[in-house]
Amino acid sequence: MELNNITQNYDTDEPIGAVDTAIFFVDGVLRPSGEPLSLNPCLVELRKGWEHLGDRYSEAMSERRFVDGYNDYLQSLVEWRTSQIRAWIEANTSRFGDKAEITALRRTFDQLSKELRASVVLCGSKCSSCGLLCLEHKQHDGDHNCNTNHMCPELCGFIDQHEEAVGCDLP
C-alpha cells in the first residue's frame, strides 16, 4: 500500500488530512521493510523536528523547561497523528455502523493510541554522568542519559586563571 493511499476515504477517494512521515514506536509493529521498530531510534528521529532542540543550554530555557517543552512537542506529534488516524478510521468504517468488528477496531486503536502516547514520554531523571535530565523514554533500561557529551558547553568561569578564554569541559 502506498503512503498516499493511507490518507484517503476508500468510498469517495477524497483525501483525509495530510500525509505524515514521522515514524512512531508501537510495540510489535514492523517497518514497511519488515524489520521491527525500536523505540530509541524512533525518538531520535522525532527529536530532529523540534525547533528548540538547540536551546538546551540557553539562558532563556532551564533544563526542566527544556524537557517539559520537549515532552509537549512529542505529545503534540502523537495527538496530531492519532487524530489523523481516527479521522481515517471514522471515514472508512462509518457505513458499517456499530458492528462488533468496528467496535473492536476502535478499541484496539484507543489502546494503541495510549501506548503511543506513553512511548514518547521522556524520563526526566538526572543523567548518570553529568546531572542534566535524561532524554531516554520513561520506561528505559540502564543508566539515565542526557544524550549530550556530558561536558559543560560554557566558557570557564575562572577567567583570571587562564591566559585566554577556554571551555569549561567539566560535567
Q: 113-169: per-residue pLDDT in tens?
A: 998 899 899 999 998 888 889 988 888 888 998 887 777 776 677 777 777 776 676
Q: What is the tens place of the pLDDT at every residue in 104-120?
A: 999 999 999 998 899 89
Buried residues in 39-76 as b, exposed as e (16+ CB within 10 A): beebbeebeeebeeeeebeeeeeeeeebbebbeebbee
Report the alpha-carbon distance of residue 166 to residue 162 in Å, rounded.
7
Report the alpha-carbon distance of residue 150 to residue 130 in Å, rounded.
5
Whether residue 46 has pLDDT greater than 80? yes
Mean pLDDT, the chain, as a whole number?
82
CB 8 within 8 A of CB 15: yes
CB 69 within 8 A of CB 61: yes
According to DSSP, the residues that pair with 30 across neighbouring strands are 36
The three cell numbers of residue 104 are 473492536
Residue scoring higher pLDDT (5 or 97): 97
Distances (CA, A) of 157 to 46, 130, 134: 35, 18, 25
Q: What is the signed CA dihedral for 167, 152, 48, 83, rounded to 10 degrees? A: -150
**What average pLDDT does the segment 46-58 reach?**
83
Instruction: Give the pLDDT band (50/70/90) at residue 170.
Output: low
Instruction: Give the pLDDT band (50/70/90) at residue 5.
Output: very low
